[in-house]
Amino acid sequence: MMKVRLTDQQWQKILLFLKTCPNIYIGQEIECRQFLEAVLLVARSGAQVRLLPDGY
């Protein structure tokens, strides 16, 4: 299965945007990044969430 990984530069831009949104809770940054990468993988591949690799 393909891997979807954000570059550090992409993640920093997304994180900066998320921090400006008052109704969004980020929590642990690494967990937020992993969640976002999992969402991108599902969106890109059409995979079902239950089929995600253990790394997500």
- Domain boundaries defined on the chain: 8-51
In sequence order, which residues have a C-beta less than 8 Å from that of residue 11 and are 6 or more positions away? 33
Q: Phi, psi (5° rounding) for residue 51? A: -95, 5
Section 12-40 average pLDDT: 93
Cα–Cα dist 36/14, whole Å: 10
- Whole-model pTM: value is 0.75
Give the single-character DSSP code of 46: -
The predicted pLDDT at position 7 comes to: 95
Residue 44: CA count within 13 A, CB half-sphere: 12
- The yes-or-no verdict on residue 4 having pLDDT over 80 is no
